[in-house]
Amino acid sequence: MSSLNYALHEMPDNSMLAAQFSMTDRVQEEYRDEYRIRRESGSIADEGLVVENLIPDAIRTNWYLLSRSKLPERAFNDLMTAASSHERTYGGLMKPLSWESLRGFLGLWKAVRDNSAEPVLSISPTGDVIAEWFSDPDNSLVIMATGDGDLIYSLFDRGKPCEGTVDSETLGNMIAMFLARDPNPFGWSDADEG
């Protein structure tokens, strides 16, 4: 039987938990090795188990903002999946999700969510959040929130490109420019397709 439980040998006999669960020295000695979680650095991979932090640091750092963001469930799941898988596989030139980038995206999302369809979220090799709105190959909006607070956008409206960079001070101008277009690029969505 191999499961993760608290190290029974560290629970004193006179503790309330020991009394509640009838832990005595005899029981502790009997099951000590079977239930112990190793405290050494590294993992318990020799037992075939690997314990990982399930929430990436950038998401944990921005948890309050993320919980208040009203991000749709699919987008949130996409973000968690991408951040978790990216964090496990990054190396060399790939970096984990940047908490600054996530914070920048959440600022953008808060400003546009009432006039926006659900974006498709992914993470760049540099750890930046990429949000995409699209209805077909000729109509798409891609915004990357960088770790330094800038937003890089690329709009293809009927195949015509419009690209640029904005910072947090000029974010409102970019949003107003896109919301004034007909149709609103933040309204483009592939959600019906998949």
H or E element, residue 115:
none
Q: Are residues 23 and 90 in the same domain?
A: no
Q: Are residues 26 and 86 in the same domain?
A: no
Q: Are residues 13 and 94 in the same domain?
A: no
Instruction: Say whether the peptide bond before residue 185 is cis (omega within 30 degrees of 0).
Output: no
Number of domains in the chain: 2
DSSP one-letter string for 47-79: GT-----SS-HHHHHTHHHHHHTT--HHHHHHH
d(CA 136, CA 191) in angstroms, rounded, equals: 12
Per-residue pLDDT tens digits for 129-185: 999 999 888 899 999 999 898 999 999 988 888 899 998 888 999 999 999 998 899
For residue 148, tell me if it sits in a domain: yes
Segments in the chain forming alpha helices (H): 16-20, 25-35, 57-61, 63-68, 73-89, 99-112, 171-179
Q: Are residues 61 and 38 in the same domain?
A: no
Per-residue pLDDT tens digits for 78-106: 888 888 876 555 555 678 888 999 999 99
For residue 52, tell me if it sits in a domain: no
Which structural domain range is residue 31 located in?
A: 8-47
Q: Are residues 100 and 154 in the same domain?
A: yes
Q: Are residues 25 and 82 in the same domain?
A: no
What predicted TM-score, i.e. pTM, was given to this entire model?
Answer: 0.67
